[in-house]
Structure formats: structure tokens, C-alpha cells
Structure 1
Amino acid sequence: MRCNNQVIGAMTALVTPFKNGKVDLEKYESLIIRQINQGIDAIVPVGTTGESATLSHDEHKECIEVALSVCKKYNNNGKAIKVLAGAGSNSTSEAIEIARFAQSCGADAILCVTPYYNKPTQEGLYQHYKEVANALEIPLMLYNVPSRTGVNLETKTILRLFNDVENIYGIKEASGSVEKVIELNMEAKDLVIVSGDDVLNYPILCCGGVGTISVTSNLLPNKVSQLIHSYESGNHIESQKLSNELFYINKTLFVESNPIMIKAALYICGLLDLLEYRLPLVPPSKENLKYLEKILEKYEVIK
């Protein structure tokens, strides 16, 4: 069942385009419009794929404002496009500040990544998320990606947060553990679980997931949205077929640290005017760029 008051379904972890060192807001808007036109349910601005760790607070807030403005103007066949705003930080007070700003602008929900670098204990993670969620009136989605943050949000802590904090409604699970998804679904049927790993989108759906926050959908929003919506409508064969079709690009986009490869793919396909990152991220190696070009030959990218 689709939940009207929760942000679920086919969602895109949007890249942040740069031009001469600054955020290219005009290009950012066009990328969002393309996502909407190709069937995406929700936009996720300034998550980790959006290079949020190297954006200033003003840039972070500006990207949220633009995403909300565009999504209010456009819709997908009469259906409103939701915004799940990225508001994670390794400082609880900073996460609260950005999350409250997103709420004040009209965000539908907040995506909050586990604090990185300082490696809090499970009790620290619990207190962090409780503080952020209690500072808000809108829903909050946990985001577990231990390979990037250096800390794993354990199943017991996730369940504790879900049971104790009313507006924590779900988790973006990117630990790579399908077993964890199964256990979470068994222990908390009402917990919204979405895939944070494109290769596992279909398996996570099969284990009780209700969507994805996808990197690949920056490039192929039509295919990723079809994968999710086919499964939702009961056409699991079609969904699995699309999953298999996307397997090679899903793998290739992570041969270097995200979002290095997805930005390169967008540039190769003419969806970004410049291949520009914020240091310490740099363009992919010549070998990986060549391999990406070869893989992209398998796919039709609709502009």
C-alpha cells in the first residue's frame, strides 16, 4: 500500500551540478524537471550523492529551496512530487538547523545520515536521532551507510528509535545486508524500508522494502521508476527483468567513490555541461572513464 503521508517509492538521490566552483542552480532545476517527467515519485536534494559534505550551509539550503520550488510547479500526471530533504551532519545541532530550515520551506520529510567521522556509540546515535526528530513536526527517515560514515546503525537501535520517536517513520538501508532488511521487516511491519543500494533494489523490495533512494535514477529515472512501480502493481517478473537490465550500470557507478561515476555518466550523456566536483573528489581515472563509456552503450538515456 502506498502511504500518502510518507515519502516512499522511486526516489532520486540528486547530484549537485557545479559551474566554475559554484552550484549551478539553473542546471539543478533542469535535472529535477527531467526526473519528474520520467516518473520519479520524490526528489532527495543534498544527500551524500549531492556532495553535501562539501557544500556550505547557504548552498545546502539554497538547493533545498530550489528543489521545493520546482516540485511545487511541476507534477507527474497530476501527482505531486515530494521532497525528502537531506539534512545530515556529524553535529547534531547542525543537522537540526538544516532540518528545521527544510521544514520551514515545505519539505515533506527529512533524510538524516548517521553522523560521520566521530563514530558515536549506539546510544549516541539514538540520542542524536531523537534530538533531530523531536525538533521537527515532519517525518524523518534514518539513513544507514556504514561504508561511508564509519558507523553502523544496528538493528536494535533502529527498532528502538522507531518505537520511541513518533515521527521517525523509516530507514534508507545501505549496509548491503538483505538479512538486516528481513529482520527489520519481521520486527516492525510498519517501518518503512527503502533501498540505498541500487544493485539490491529488487531483492529489498522482495523482503518488504517500499522503494529506493537511487543513484542510478539520476541517469535512468524512467527505468528505476518502472522497476519500483512494476513491483508495486504486482508485476514482479517485469520488476526483476528491469533489475537485471540495470545490473551492469548499477555496479559500474560505484567502481569509484560516489558520486564520481554518476556525474561522469551524466556528463558523457550530455546531461551535465561540465564534469566538475568539489575537492577532495576528482574525475574518474582514464581506465574507469573508458569502461563507463563502454557500459553506457548498453543503455538508452532519454534527455
Structure 2
Amino acid sequence: MPCGRKRCKTFGPEDIRGSIVAIVTPFRDGAVDEEGFRELVRWHLKEKTHGLVVVGTTGESATLTKEEKARLFEIALEEAKGKVPVILGTGTNNTAASIELTRMAKEMGADAVLMVTPYYNKPTQEGLYRHYEAVAREVNIPIILYNVPGRTSVSLAPETVARLAKIKNIVGIKEATGCMRQATEIMRLTGNRFRILSGDDFTAFSLMALGGHGVISVAANVVPREMSRFMEACLKGQWDKARKMHFKLYPLFKAMFLETNPVPAKTALSLMGRIASPEVRLPLAPMSEANVEKLRTVLAEYKLVES
């Protein structure tokens, strides 16, 4: 078990808050760059990121093997050493496979798992409920739902989220619809126990103002300390300060989606010298030269690269 989790601090759902990076998975020549990933985790700890999501959408979970996922989980847990919550991505479009990955995450010592709605299958709301119920029944670990219909073609209805919130170890949701009506309904129906996390940097300020608990962030890959300070201001109710930070960071939020995530984030990290290569796995493709120049211009404005 990495880090000897009994000897390390463990975190409860109440500790899942603030700026949680959806960390990228660096590659070199087609393979996971383990040392590059280790260095990224160390950097985030130094920059005061509040938590790590490993092998999420931004970590290219769809094209990683089970063995690669296990190794990334292991490295993150080794490096975090109980300093911040480590949330492992275990969602798939196959309930049995999701149970298997979630069980592995629990055995390795994860603080929680993040489970995306099953993609491609297009389950009904009842199918979505039964999927999550099955995993929660089989593995006693805190589960965070992940609702991102732009990626999966299905969306968890607020009423379904409220049903799932009654299951003890389903503790929160990464809400990435970008819809404040949806977020409001979920908050109204689930109450204070349930952790509500923004799944979009664009909506983090608004969701926090509604009473959310944090953001699972793409931009934190590039500006971890700034995102940490932004979320801390929100958590402390320093709304004037937080609003200014939101507008300051907004151009960078947009730049992270010039093309499909995580292509811009990995390109930015490569330009910054934080990873050796911007490499992504097919069917993702390298960023177009035109968009690389747009991205470089934004990064230079934040003094992250030379102008």
C-alpha cells in the first residue's frame, strides 16, 4: 500500500474543497512519463493545490490501460503522503469495470473516487441511479459523481442526484454542465452534507457564491497557486477579491479550451517547461499552430512564458 496510509493523514469528504487540480498525464514516445508526472504532483504540493484528481478526463482516462492507471494512482499517493486529498478517477461506461477500478482505488488508499456518468451507452435516469448504487454497494469508499454531458451525452437530473445523495458513501458531485439552474436545484435538493464542486473554471465563482465547496480545475494545471488563492478567497467569503481574481483569470480559462481538453493544458505546460512533451494520445491530436500562438500570447500576458 503506497505511503503506508495508516501512518499518513486520511481525509474525509469535508476535506474535499478548494482548488482540486484535474491533473494531466504526461507522455513521452507513447508511454506514460512517470517522472514527469511525479514532478507535477510535487509542484502542485509546493504551490498549495488543495487536492488532486488523478486519471480524470484531463488525465486522458479513456486511453489509459488499467495498468497505467494503477501506476499513476500509486505515484500520486506516494508523493501526496497524506498532505492533500487524492481522488482517483474510476468511472467507465461498464459498471463491472467501474467496480473493479474503484475496489483497486480503495485498496491502494485513495481518499475518494471520481466517477463519470457512463458514456456512449446513454442510460436512462434509472440506469444511471443503478450504476452508481451498484458501485457504492460493492465498495465502501467516498464517491463523487461526475456530470459532464458535453463529453458523455447523458446528464444526471437533479432529482437523480438527490436520490443518490441518500446513499451514505456518495458524498458529492463534480457538476460540469455549466448551468447554474442545475447547480441550484442540486443544492436545494441535497442539503449541506453533499459536496458540490464546479467542473468548469468558468463557473467556479458563481457556484461558490451559491454555496459550493470548490472546483476540479483544468486551469490549476497551469496556475496552481493562483487557483488556490482564488478558491481560498471564495471559501472565506472575500467576494470582492474573488470576483477580481475571476475576471483576471478568465482569459486563461478560455485559452484552456481553445481546443479539446487537455490539449491546450498540456501544450501550455510544455511551453512553460513543466513537462517534456505536449504529447496526447489518439484520437486526440496536437494543437494547431494557429492555436498554439494564441495560447502562447495568453501565457505571456500572465508571465508564464517569455513574450
Offset of residue 237 of structure 1: 1.3
Q: RMSD of aligned C-alpha atoms?
A: 1.5
Q: Which amino acid aligns with 2:177?
A: S
Q: Aligned pair count?
A: 294
Does residue 299 (structure 1) correspond to residue 302 (structure 2)? The answer is yes
* Aligned match of 1:62: 71
Residues 239-292 of structure 1 show CA distances to partners (whole Å, capped at 9, x for unaligned) of 111111110010111121110111111111111111211111111111111111
Does residue 272 (structure 1) correspond to residue 281 (structure 2)? The answer is no
Does residue 207 (structure 1) correspond to residue 197 (structure 2)? The answer is no
Give the whole-Å Cα distance in 1 for the aligned partners of 2:42 and 2:240. Answer: 29
Residues 192-215 of structure 1 show CA distances to partners (whole Å, capped at 9, x for unaligned) of 100000011101100111000000
Q: What is the SS of the residue equivalent to 2:185?
A: helix
Whether contact under 8 Å (2:263, 2:278) holds in the other structure is: no
Q: What is the SS of the residue equivalent to 1:58?
A: helix
Does residue 30 (structure 1) correspond to residue 33 (structure 2)? The answer is no
For 1:185, which of 180, 184, 187 is the aligned residue?
Answer: 187
| Structure 2: gaps (5+ residues) | 1-10
Q: What is the SS of the residue equivalent to 1:107?
A: coil
Offset of residue 186 of structure 1: 1.6
Structure 1 residues 270 and 49: alpha-carbon distance in aligned structure 2, compared to 1, 3 A threshold: same
Offset of residue 301 of structure 1: 3.6
Q: Which amino acid aligns with 1:128?
A: H
* Aligned match of 2:52: 43
Structure 1 residues 171 and 118: alpha-carbon distance in aligned structure 2, compared to 1, 3 A threshold: same
Does residue 21 (structure 1) correspond to residue 21 (structure 2)? The answer is no
Give the whole-Å Cα distance in 2 for the aligned partners of 1:70 and 1:287. Answer: 37
Does residue 8 (structure 1) correspond to residue 29 (structure 2)? The answer is no
Give the whole-Å Cα distance in 2 for the aligned partners of 1:7 and 1:66. Answer: 20
Q: Equivalences for 1:137-156 in 2 at 5 Å?
A: 137-156=140-159
Offset of residue 4 of structure 1: 6.3
Give the whole-Å Cα distance in 1 for the aligned partners of 2:290 and 2:46. Answer: 33
Residues 171-228 of structure 1 show CA distances to partners (whole Å, capped at 9, x for unaligned) of 0000010111111112222221000000111011001110000000000000100011
TM-score normalised to structure 2 length: 0.93
Does residue 114 (structure 1) correspond to residue 106 (structure 2)? The answer is no
Give the whole-Å Cα distance in 2 for the aligned partners of 1:176 and 1:201. Answer: 9
Give the whole-Å Cα distance in 2 for the aligned partners of 1:180 and 1:44. Answer: 23
Does residue 223 (structure 1) correspond to residue 226 (structure 2)? The answer is yes
Whether contact under 8 Å (2:117, 2:154) holds in the other structure is: yes
Whether contact under 8 Å (1:6, 1:139) holds in the other structure is: no
Give the whole-Å Cα distance in 2 for the aligned partners of 1:91 and 1:107. Answer: 21
Give the whole-Å Cα distance in 1 for the aligned partners of 2:216 and 2:304. Answer: 19
Q: Which amino acid aligns with 1:187?
A: L
Q: What is the SS of the residue equivalent to 1:120?
A: coil
Q: What is the SS of the residue equivalent to 2:196?
A: strand
Whether contact under 8 Å (1:195, 1:211) holds in the other structure is: yes
* Aligned match of 2:252: 249
* Aligned match of 2:169: 167
Q: Equivalences for 1:96-135 in 2 at 5 Å?
A: 96-135=99-138
Structure 1 residues 273 and 134: alpha-carbon distance in aligned structure 2, compared to 1, 3 A threshold: same
* Aligned match of 1:75: none
| Structure 1: gaps (5+ residues) | 73-78
Give the whole-Å Cα distance in 2 for the aligned partners of 1:186 and 1:198. Answer: 22
